[in-house]
Every structure is written in structure tokens, then in C-alpha cells.
Amino acid sequence: MLWLIAIGAWPHAVPAETPRPLRPVAETELPALLDAGDTASLREAIVQSLAWLARKPLGATLDYGTRKVTVGDQMRALERLLAFLVDDPAPDAVEALVLEEFDVVKSIGRGDGTMLVTGYHEPIVDASLTRSAEYRVPILTAPSGPRVTLTRAEIESGRLGSSTRALAWARNPIDVFFMEVEGSGTLRLPDGDEIRVGYAGSNGRPYRSIARLLIDEGHIDRDVMSMRVLREWLEANPHQLARVLHHNQSYVFFARRSGPPVGSLGVPLTPGRSIATDPNVFPQGSLGFLLTQRPRRADGGEITWAPVSRFVLSQDVGGVIRGPGRVDVFWGRGPDAELAASEMKQDGELYVLVPKPAVIRPLPPVPPDPQVAGGPPNTSEARQPLA
């Protein structure tokens, strides 16, 4: 669950007659695959994709549109890249190895090759394990019993009774709402201790965008809408808060989690490397190369934009991340990650790396026929590996 669900996404439609969402890239249009990120995070993300792939049958296939690749071949290609990265090679050396091991295809994006690139993060919410006048907003566990279909307003009024309990109590209902949108977060307690929580279910009600509501009502212009602007409006209009939040009847429950946020593959997400994509277009666990921009806050407080040029791995999904024209980047936690999650609505390009077909190696020499040599056949020595 990603923040664009909350503030409203307006993806461009992909032309209906486009034959396939991923297309081969000619050598003349191939960009420099020079990674500007740190090698350690790339290694970690590859390890997580390999952990997911290891749970699949080696003969299962991943569909890249132009070609199908077995899980075994995908793992071998990623393992070779991982081994090469151990010594922190220069970006151009990594590029050379990638081009040797992988073919390059590109998402058609919104039909012109560009995609809408957004960001999400792990929010930090001030909370307490004890309810008080300051900490009064419950962060609820999934209820026991039949599936809940109550609205947000009904749940907040206490209709669930003893079927649920509060993991903790937050100070600000806006923080909890946005943590629901992100699907995970960290609760920071008054003594400085932290508790990580993650998605544990929902009430099954349809999601309705509060950003779209405020745009339609004329409160915020569509062109300036962002998570930051939405939060600022909510904080400036406390008398409207309940009405606006209750417009979204969907409600998310949480459970305690150990370790970093986990994506749809069931493996930890790596900041700046894990992306959410449509699994019907981009094979899960696959390697890609992303070109876009991300925001930075300058010393004077203004927002500037820095280029993003890095290898990424498809390790998550999102409610509005559909088709070849959308990608969402997980940025981790902290002010920079929150800024990226709030402000990113950038054009970008995503290239997908397809492991090259396995090289056919000659069979080893055939040993002499033991019967010709005058002895009984030894079946264990007669068996030869195929490659």
C-alpha cells in the first residue's frame, strides 16, 4: 500500500494496441548503465531477490514478454553479479558485466517510454504503550472472528469491542492514517524505544482517495497536490479532519514486526533499491535500471532535484501500481525518505535486465566402453554430466 493511493494517482493510459509492455532496446538507444548508488545496498537487494527465488522450483519460468527465463537461469545470473560486486568494482566495470550477462529490454511506459515514478517510505509515528490525553489514537490489531466490514467511522467509534486491541496509542491521527497508506511504520515511544509494525489486514471496504476529495471540493489544486501539501491542509483544518478521513472507509490493522519492512515477496525491502511494480508486467525479483529524479532539501529549506541512476529490483507491489507506466521506489526511513515519498511524481525510464540464454557447453569426452576393455560396466562411472 503506497502513498499515491492516498493522495490520488493519475497515470497516463497505455495505448490499447501496444503489443507488449517490454520491448528490446537497440544498442544505439541504450543509456549508460552507470550506478550512482552504494554497492552494499545493491548486494543486499540482490541477496533478497535470491532468497525469494530459492523458494521457487528451478524450472519455473519468469515471463519477460520477449522471452521466458527459468528461475534457475535467473538465479545464476544474479549470483554471478553478486559475486562480482564483492570487491566494490567501479560503475563502468559493473556495466560491462551486466551487458555480458543480461539482455536489455525497456518498459514502454505510458506509450512514449517514460513512466510515472513515485516513492514510498517507512514512517515514524510518535506513540505510547499507555493511553493518555496526549496519546489517544489507537493503533489496532486485526480483530478476531468473522471478517470485519465496518467503516472507518464505525471502527473508530469502538464498534469492534473486545475483538481487537490497541498495540499502542498515537499522538496524531494524521500520522496513523498515513502509516495505514504506507502499510508499515515505526512507533517511537516517549523513552526513545522503537517498535516496528506492519500490515495485518483491513476491513475490506473500498479505498477512496481523500486527496481526490479535496481536489474535487476545490481546497487544493491538482497540480500542487502531494503528501506534504495534503498533510499541511489537514493540520490547518482540524475541524474538517474527521469528515475528510472518514471519506476513506478503508481501515488497516497492524501487528508487531521484527526487522525492516517486508515487501510482497516476503523479503525485507532495501532502501533505494527495492521497487514496487506490476507483477503482470515486470517479473518479481528481477533486476532493472532506473533513471529519474528525487528531491533533496537544500540548506535554505528549498527543494532541489537530483538525478537517480541505479540498479533496482522488483520486490513489491502497490494498489495503484498497475501497467508498464508506473514504478514506486522504496526509500527507507528518515527525513530524506519522507521527502521523496511526499514529493516524487517524476518522469523516468525503467530498463529491465533479462538473463541471457545459457551457453550450450560440449559434453565431456566419452570414456572407453568397459565391456570392450574386458570388464563389467560400472554404471556410476558411466553416467556423465550434461554440462
Confidence of residue 367 (pLDDT cuts 50, 70, 90): low
Is 35 part of any domain? Answer: yes
Is 164 part of any domain? Answer: yes
The residue segments making up the domain with residue 222 are 124-257
In a shared domain, residues 154 and 243: yes
Q: Which of 237, 316, 332, 226 is nearest to 277 (CA)?
A: 316
Confidence of residue 361 (pLDDT cuts 50, 70, 90): very low
pLDDT exceeds 50 at position 177: yes
Is 361 part of any domain? Answer: no
Give the pLDDT of residue 337: 94
Could you say which DSSP state residue 262 is in? B
Is 193 part of any domain? Answer: yes
Is 383 part of any domain? Answer: no
- Grid cell at residue 25: 532496446
Question: What's the number of domains the chain is made of?
Answer: 2
Neighbours of 320 (CB within 10 A): 23
Give the pLDDT of residue 207: 86
Give the pLDDT of residue 109: 92
- In sequence order, which residues have a C-beta less than 8 Å from that of residue 112 and are 6 or more positions away? none
In a shared domain, residues 128 and 249: yes
pLDDT exceeds 60 at position 262: yes
Give the mean pLDDT of the chain: 88
For residue 349, the surrounding DSSP H or E stretch is strand 346-355
Under a CB-based contact definition with an 8 Å cutoff, are residues 185 and 125 in contact? yes
Q: Which of 361, 336, 295, 287 is nearest to 80 (CA)?
A: 287
208-253 residue pLDDT tens: 999 999 999 999 999 899 899 999 999 999 999 999 999 999 999 9
In a shared domain, residues 38 and 77: yes
Question: At 162, is the secondary structure helix, strand, or coil?
Answer: helix
In a shared domain, residues 159 and 87: no
How many Cα atoms sit within 13 Å of 278 on the Cβ side? 18
Q: What is the mean pLDDT of residues 126-134?
A: 97
Give the pLDDT of residue 52: 98
Under a CB-based contact definition with an 8 Å cutoff, are residues 44 and 248 in contact? no
- Grid cell at residue 182: 504506507
Q: Measured between alpha carbons, how far is 281 from 14 in angstroms, rounded to an integer?
A: 13
* CATH number of the domain to which 302 belongs: 2.40.40.10
- In sequence order, which residues have a C-beta less than 8 Å from that of residue 77 and are 6 or more positions away? 101, 102, 287, 355, 356
- Grid cell at residue 343: 514529493
Is 119 part of any domain? Answer: no
How does 53-71 read in b/e, with b if 16+ C-beta sit within 10 Å?
beebeeeebbebbebebbb
* CATH number of the domain to which 236 belongs: 2.40.240.50
pLDDT exceeds 70 at position 13: no
Residue with cell 516517549: 190
Q: Which of 320, 177, 318, 197 is nearest to 251 (CA)?
A: 177
pLDDT exceeds 90 at position 299: no
Please list the residues that pair with 120 across neighbouring strands: 330
In a shared domain, residues 95 and 138: no
In a shared domain, residues 280 and 155: no
Q: Nearest 5°: phi and psi at 107?
A: -70, 140
Q: Which of 302, 333, 48, 323 is nearest to 179 (CA)?
A: 333
Give the pLDDT of residue 380: 30
Under a CB-based contact definition with an 8 Å cutoff, are residues 204 and 151 in contact? no
Supply the angle between the helices 227-236 and 335-343 in degrees, to the nearest 10: 100
Confidence of residue 105 (pLDDT cuts 50, 70, 90): very high
In a shared domain, residues 85 and 29: yes
pLDDT exceeds 50 at position 355: yes
112-123 residue pLDDT tens: 989 999 999 999
In a shared domain, residues 214 and 148: yes
- Grid cell at residue 262: 517486508
Give the pLDDT of residue 175: 96
